[in-house]
Structure 1
Amino acid sequence: MIWHALVQAYAFIATVPVIPFLIVYFISLARGLDRKSSIQLAMDVTTVFLIGFVAGMLNTRLHSSFTLYFIILVMLVAGGLIGSAQNRLRGKVDAGKLVRAVWRLTFFCLVPLYLILMLLEIFLPSRSA
């Protein structure tokens, strides 16, 4: 029962990821973080919800169950490319910067996908069985 409530809460929040973004942003501002750090923290938290929403919507649109794994695969490939570039430039890989870069790139790639999928769902609803 608790698990079902958590899943429902996640589904609602993932449908409108602006809500967690704004909540985290304003709470972090109130707690004393500067504007840039607050935005970055809000982006990091919102990425979790964007991944779930975009994967779910693509699954519905494409009649597939592979899109979450595809998103994770793209994140891993991006991590490999960024890590390789770090290794070439600095001679070592900074894991913290690598994870942060991949996570933020994921946010910037998923936001347009979220907008496109949401508009498609509004104007051309999918016919899921």
Structure 2
Amino acid sequence: MKIFGFLLQFLTVLPFIPFLSIWLIYGFINGDNKKAFRLAMDVTTLFLILVVATMYNTIFGGSFGFYLIVLVLLIAGGLLGGAQNRKRGKIDALKLVKTIWRLTFFVMAFFYIIFLITGVIRYSLHIV
């Protein structure tokens, strides 16, 4: 069980490893790189949410990072759901969740890079 915990921590800290692993392995097995890329994005999003929340808490000295991300996801879901309802007259929940989840991948990847650079600079300058 300790090995599983260590592996989960390792994959969370380095979210590009599960992304590349899933993309390459599933792409090789299935032969559909587009589908493999989407699956890799979907799985990696969870790891990115966890690591960005932790980095946010570390950099800003709080414990609200995960809840802030969930709050933003809920607000984005409400806004996109409202737009979808106005445009089509109904809400396709599966499409809405997929859209939010995949947008979250790109936003969390952006914040991962920003927080990583910020953390390295703060550590280098001893601003902790």
SS of equivalent to 1:92 = coil
Task: Give the equivalent residue in structure 2 for 1:29.
Answer: 27
SS of equivalent to 1:124 = helix
1:118 aligns with 2:116: yes
Task: Give the equivalent residue in structure 1 for 2:101.
Answer: 103
1:86 aligns with 2:92: no
Task: Give the equivalent residue in structure 1 for 2:43.
Answer: 45
Whole-angstrom distance in 2 between the partners of 1:23 and 1:33? 14
- Number of aligned residue pairs: 125
Q: Which runs of 4+ in 1 moved over 4 A?
A: none
Q: Report the TM-score when normalising by structure 1.
A: 0.90
Task: Give the equivalent residue in structure 2 for 1:62.
Answer: 60
Whole-angstrom distance in 1 between the partners of 2:91 and 2:47? 28
Whole-angstrom distance in 2 between the partners of 1:11 and 1:117? 18
SS of equivalent to 2:71 = helix
**Identical-pair percentage:** 45
CA distances 1:53-92 after superposition (whole Å, capped 9, x unpaired): 0000100111111110000000001101111111111111
SS of equivalent to 2:49 = helix
Deviation at 1:8, TM superposition (A): 2.6
Whole-angstrom distance in 2 between the partners of 1:22 and 1:64? 31
Task: Give the equivalent residue in structure 2 for 1:75.
Answer: 73
Between 52-61 and 114-123, the greater mean CA deviation after superposition? 114-123
Superposed, 1:13-28 pairs within 5 Å as 13-28=11-26
Whole-angstrom distance in 2 between the partners of 1:8 and 1:123? 27
Whole-angstrom distance in 2 between the partners of 1:111 and 1:105? 10
